[in-house]
Amino acid sequence: MPKRVGFLGPAGTFTEQAMLAFFAGEEIIPLAYPDLPAVLEALAQEEIAAGVVPWENSLEGSVTLFLDLLVKTAGIYVVGEVVLPIVHHLLARPGVSSFTRILSHPHALAQCREFLRIHFPDVPLFPTGSTAEAARLVAESSEPWAAVGPETAAKNWGLVVVKKAIQDSKENETRFAVLGKERAPRTGRDKTSVAFALTEDRPGVLYKALEEFARREINLTKIESRPAKRQLGQYIFFLDCEGHMEDPEVRAALEALKAQSSFFKILGSYPRWGGS
């Protein structure tokens, strides 16, 4: 029976590409959702078996709404990741070469800000819910608009590529999270993501917490913080480390971290994308 998989839509987005890459070779029923909360809610209600959402970009950082949702939503885990190179093109209707506005998702516009500043300094930029939505709006409008987005969006909406690869960095990548209701088993090439808030607020307390990983020679691949949404100066930390939560050394480090935390949640242990 095909697996129902939700993704941040609409069709033609990079998230759809990530979903197809992760589930390549599997029979699935793709279901597009309008926003991140809708994907997680559908998974929580078991309308879908898995969900795929953007997690972080190499230029713009993490999708903070996703981090906040992952912390407060019970019973949903990261079970996989996908890392895709992000290539943005300037898209327009055939025959249109000058524009009165340029539309795209805010992250896409930000990732192309230098190109747009140099080549279209006087053209207003308008944010949309997704790159695919921007392409749709351009295709359906009689105005001389352009969109920033992937080639798939151009194909889906009958647009042409005016300028290829307009992103400011050729190293532009986005990491996507694959979400499920059950934790992923060990593979030997895993990564673990954790959210935590420390009990004490004094010099060296974060160093002491992270030392639990260093002295066990567990590599940390990411750490960042988000406001705890309580008192100014209170933060939740997000940490990624190599290894699975069931690995003995990782388990010991996590238990030691939990003992020092006022809030602690294992967001998931999952296979590293491409074994990297």
Catalytic residue among 174, 196, 213, 237: 174
**Residues contacting residue 183 through CB under 8 Å, at least 6 positions apart:** 77, 79, 245, 268, 269
| Angle ∠(156,157,163) on CA atoms, nearest 5 | 95
Instruction: Name the active-site residue from 14, 99, 176, 237.
Output: 176
DSSP state of 275: G
Local structure of 59: helix, strand or coil: coil
Report which of 22, 33, 23, 32 is spatially closest to residue 3, judged by C-alpha positions: 23
Q: Which distant-in-sequence residues (6+ apart) come within 8 Å of 163 by Cβ?
A: 89, 90, 115, 119
- State the burial class of residue 230 (Cβ atoms within 10 Å of its Cβ: 0-12, 13-18, 19+): exposed
Active-site annotation holds for 176: yes
3-class secondary-structure state, position 13? coil
Query: Roughly how many angstroms between the first and final C-alpha of the chain, as a whole number?
Result: 31
- Whether residue 174 lies in the annotated active site: yes
| Catalytic sites, residue numbers | 174, 176
